[in-house]
């Protein structure tokens, strides 16, 4: 999903003024009117001439709210028809796998999509348990099914011919008012920009044409259509976990895991993982509520299932401070050795430790990388470390310490997909708490972000090393330094944002940043040469990156310093001056 719609990570959250009730339990006035939300989905029709109500894909999906006429029945009908036409043009003839999360609008959106898919006779597979499906479970299933199709053609043992692809109906961590839909082609990960642009353009043309070219049948007929089948996403995902996580180590070390689905699609998965693999795992809160009335408010006073936010994760953090049973003295009084959270579609992870609280996503990514590349002996020796260009430079230093090449790409998980598939990039991670990595044998596991996987990895690290991820990160700090990271926003008009997106390195005349010589000025990612849609400037001990927001009249400044908080503030101030001088 688009990082333009992402809320700040834990570090960036702390840099913003918190709403008065941030981190406290939601009250009645904070809750969405679900009947009104569902009524608006069917009754409101977008104005095809209004950009705010058109289909607009971020990295791989469209998001909006039915109350704002930006995510309504018309949108889903048009997007689904566009996806059908796109996959046909690409020669995708296998089944289309469809999952959904727990947002109130996801159920109606799935129904609309089924009416169009069956109207076009597309072989479609939905969850056999009639449950919710995490994004990584859909990605994993696509890869698993496609791996079974013979390379020379012909059907698989299950009778599948042609490559499978998928649709996931989710706005990820967005508030309960929102809905979202994204397309994953046969490579299993987020669709690339060429695909999403084509799908969005075609969907908007269908909207402008009054949906006249959308082929659709009533839901009752769609549910009985011969092209509709089912797939056990949960069984496939949970059964395959020993191929990617050392569950034996977790079980033998008796690591106590507290997993909070945060009311999302992982709710049925965590319990099954614990039971099937014999883990000491407690599902902290199995409640599913389309209003998310059990949540604590995020930094801006909104309900948002952001597992990288200490405000949204406040209840789990507080639970880790509660007095435990004392049965495991090595873990102190905390009830769990590792507590975890996931957003609504479980593509993000939040890691809470007894000794450190909620880990900054950049910190855990650094730990995960250092641990994995030292303990996955079946991985290709020359495989690089994938990171987005706005992730911490601690990762750069860890990669150098591992003697592994760093593959720095633009924002968006789609950039990691080729490496995860061919083994040249066995790990990819984003600063917004999204990551995935390959199996023990080096083959792809999920080419979309996998929050469950990273949460289980935290437990494996605890089991194998005897250290919490917080303790592990402290050792990395001793070796590589202690960075300070934050994101701030600066005002910018649409014209100014367009200028920023088109900047070139030569536009930056400064050669000093916060007292240090500038070592690089980038408008293309060094890992793959793709445009970053902004600017990144680096020095020996600091960097900043500036990117225009896709949803607000601001541009974002990501910055980091290995010197001090004061130095970071200087970097931020000079970064704003550098950018403003070019876009003014």
Kindly list the catalytic residues: 172
Q: What does the alpha-carbon distance between residue 383 and residue 381 come to, in Å, rounded to a whole number?
A: 6
Q: How many CB atoms lie within 10 A of CB 543?
A: 28
Name the residue among 310, 255, 244 with its Cα closest to residue 465.
255
Coil, helix or strand at residue 389 = coil
Q: Could you write out the DSSP letters of every residue in 235-258?
A: HHHHHHGGGTS-HHHHHHTT-EEE
Report strand pairing: 96-100 vs 165-169. Answer: parallel
Beta bridge partners of 428: 386, 436
Q: Say if CB 549 and CB 556 are below 8 A apart.
A: yes
* Length reported for the chain: 584
Q: Three-state SS across 321-378?
A: HCCCCCCCHHHCCCCCCEEEEECCCCCCEEEEECCCEECCHHHHHHHHHHHHHHHCCC
Q: Say if CB 405 and CB 382 are below 8 A apart.
A: yes
Q: What is the dihedral of CA 483, 484, 490, 496, to 10 degrees?
A: 0
Q: Three-state SS across 443-489?
A: CCCCCCCCHHHHHHHHHHHHHHHCCCHHHHHHHHHHHHCCCEEEEEE
Q: Say if CB 402 and CB 443 are below 8 A apart.
A: no
Name the residue among 169, 173, 171, 187 with its Cα closest to residue 80.
169
Coil, helix or strand at residue 176 = coil
**Which residue in the block uniquely carries the two structure tokens 């191929």?**
243
């Amino acid at each position: 999903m688009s990082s333009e719609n992402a809320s700040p990570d834990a570090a960036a959250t702390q840099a913003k003024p918190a709403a008065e009730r941030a981190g406290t339990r939601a009250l009645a006035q904070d809750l969405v009117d679900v009947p009104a939300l569902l009524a608006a989905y069917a009754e409101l029709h977008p104005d095809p001439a209004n950009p705010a109500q058109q289909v607009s894909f971020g990295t791989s999906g469209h998001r909006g709210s039915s109350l704002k006429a930006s995510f309504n029945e018309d949108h889903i009908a048009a997007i689904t028809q566009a996806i059908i036409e796109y996959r046909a043009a690409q020669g995708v003839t296998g089944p289309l796998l469809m999952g959904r999360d727990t947002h109130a609008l996801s159920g109606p959106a799935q129904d609309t999509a089924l009416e169009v898919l069956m109207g076009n006779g597309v072989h479609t597979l939905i969850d056999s348990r009639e449950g919710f499906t995490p994004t990584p479970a859909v990605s994993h299933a696509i890869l698993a099914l496609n791996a079974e199709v013979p390379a020379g053609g012909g059907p698989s043992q299950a009778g599948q011919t042609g490559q499978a692809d998928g649709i996931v109906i989710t706005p990820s961590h967005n508030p309960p008012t929102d809905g979202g839909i994204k397309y994953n082609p046969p490579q299993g990960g987020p669709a690339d920009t060429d695909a999403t642009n084509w799908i969005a353009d075609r969907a908007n043309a269908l909207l402008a044409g009054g949906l006249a070219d959308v082929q659709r049948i009533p839901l009752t007929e769609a549910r009985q259509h011969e092209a509709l089948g089912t797939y056990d996403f949960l069984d496939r995902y949970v059964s395959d976990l020993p191929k990617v996580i050392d569950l034996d180590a977790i079980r033998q070390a008796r690591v106590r895991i507290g997993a909070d689905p945060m009311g999302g699609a992982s709710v049925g998965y965590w319990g099954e993982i614990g039971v099937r693999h014999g883990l000491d795992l407690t599902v902290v809160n199995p409640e599913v509520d389309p209003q998310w009335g059990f949540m604590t408010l995020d930094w801006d006073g909104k309900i948002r299932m952001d597992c990288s936010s200490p405000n949204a994760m406040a209840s789990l953090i507080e639970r880790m401070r509660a007095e435990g049973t004392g049965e495991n003295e090595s873990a102190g009084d905390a009830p769990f050795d590792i507590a975890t959270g996931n957003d609504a579609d479980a593509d993000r992870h939040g890691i809470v430790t007894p000794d450190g609280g909620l880990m900054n996503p950049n910190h855990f990514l650094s730990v995960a990388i250092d641990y994995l590349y030292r303990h996955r002996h079946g991985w290709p020796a020359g495989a690089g470390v994938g990171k987005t260009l706005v992730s911490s430079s601690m990762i750069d230093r860890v990669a150098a310490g591992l003697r592994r090449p760093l593959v720095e790409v633009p924002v968006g998980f789609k950039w990691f997909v080729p490496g995860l598939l061919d083994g040249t990039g066995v790990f990819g991670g984003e600063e917004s708490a999204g990551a995935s990595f390959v199996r023990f044998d080096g083959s792809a596991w999920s080419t979309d972000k996998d929050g469950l996987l990273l949460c289980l990895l935290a437990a494996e690290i605890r089991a194998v090393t005897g250290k919490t991820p917080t303790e592990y990160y402290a050792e990395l700090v001793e070796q590589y330094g202690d960075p300070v990271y934050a994101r701030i926003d600066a005002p910018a008009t649409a014209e100014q944002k367009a200028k920023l997106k088109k900047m070139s390195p030569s536009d930056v005349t400064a050669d000093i940043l916060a007292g240090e010589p500038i070592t690089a000025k980038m408008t293309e990612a060094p890992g793959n040469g793709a445009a970053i849609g902004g600017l990144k400037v680096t020095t020996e001990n600091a960097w900043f990156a500036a990117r225009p927001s896709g949803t607000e009249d601001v541009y974002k400044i990501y910055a980091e310093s290995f010197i001090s908080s004061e130095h970071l503030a200087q970097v931020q101030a000079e970064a704003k001056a550098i950018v403003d001088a070019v876009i003014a």
